[in-house]
Chain A
């Protein structure tokens, strides 16, 4: 290795270290702005978030879904520890279901309820044919949602 190549290599490694430290600092500090949604527990911990427009995500709680009319819906979003009640007026996406992932956008009210104006269905990382799910459920091995 010639001395020229060696000096370039050292310069390169030094700049690499500096840049990666800079990026780590940026990513660490931007964490709150980068996340797409908050979970119920995170939202309940920060009462200063009340009255603000934001996104809330989690699973739709089992047996929580009610519809007042064809376009007004009530349900709660859970992360396993805490729940937040949501009211939504509009059209639900096809994949919306109880015990499935969902992200809602709207206002976190001062009384702790969430008024959503947009509902997005969140898909998990499982891909299975319907027959396999049936077999897994029959044998009691299905651990998915």
Chain B
């Protein structure tokens, strides 16, 4: 179970970086072109539904990133392999950005559609809690100077906070919410037309590339940070 990060791994990640940045920008350009020009407007919402192309992938990756974060914290708790701690700290910031993106874009969409920027329904509130969980995780690790203790406390918070993930996912099914239920992951056929699924999937790929690129840059930074902490504590 003990996986060690070797220097040639880091060199490989470093050399892949420019390609990943290029691929991310390329995917976003294509995705935005399809989202804004190559897809029809919605039959009720008109053009404002185009916000969905960034809102939905952001929300998906906000949840997925948190799941990876909590998963690596569990593995770190059990095995105490520092690699999992590094992974968790690498992806937390990107996850926070995705959550913030989905909150802001959702708010912009909510005003013309619902008539309000924000409501305290179960979906929106649980998503805001997710944002605070990310902040708390990042802040706790930075605020506690004993890094062994900091890792333990922040990992415990991340694991307990995982309860929020199924709550967000199923909030629209369990409770009456203003937010509409899932369109893509429901068991019957998706209720989004194919012409609208194409830009959505390109934007999802773009967001995924963004997640990978930024996380790998963060990964190298966290390793450097660890090295500095070790030398300063000697």
Q: How far is the CB of B36 from chain A (nearest CB, A)?
A: 15
A62 to B18, CA, bound (A): 58
Of the stretches B25-33, B136-144, B173-181, B215-223, the one at the interface is B173-181
Q: How far is the CB of A34 from chain B (nearest CB, A)?
A: 5
In residues 88-139 of chain B, which contact A (Cβ within 8 Å)? 112-116, 119-122
Q: How far is the CB of A127 from chain B (nearest CB, A)?
A: 4
Are B42 and A128 closer than 8 Å at their CB atoms? yes
Are A122 and B178 closer than 8 Å at their CB atoms? yes
| Interface SS of chain B | loop
A side interface size, CB within 8 A: 37
Instruction: Collect the chain A residues with CB atoms within 8 Å of residue B175's CB.
Output: 31, 34-36
Q: Is B10 an interface residue (CB 8 A)?
A: no
Instruction: Collect the chain A residues with CB atoms within 8 Å of residue B40's CB.
Output: 129-131
Are A127 and B193 closer than 8 Å at their CB atoms? yes
B side interface size, CB within 8 A: 41
Are A38 and B176 closer than 8 Å at their CB atoms? yes
Of the stretches A4-12, A44-52, A69-77, A81-89, the one at the interface is A4-12
Of the stretches B71-79, B206-214, B225-233, the one at the interface is B71-79
Other than A36-B175, A125-B181, A127-B42, give 5 A-B pairs with Cβ distance below 8 A. Answer: A8-B78, A39-B176, A95-B113, A128-B192, A128-B196
B contact set with A: CB distance below 8 Å: 1, 39-45, 49, 52, 74, 77-79, 112-116, 119-122, 160, 163, 167, 174-178, 180-183, 186, 191-193, 195-196
A contact set with B: CB distance below 8 Å: 1, 5, 8-9, 12, 19-20, 23, 27, 31, 34-39, 57, 93-95, 100, 103, 119-133
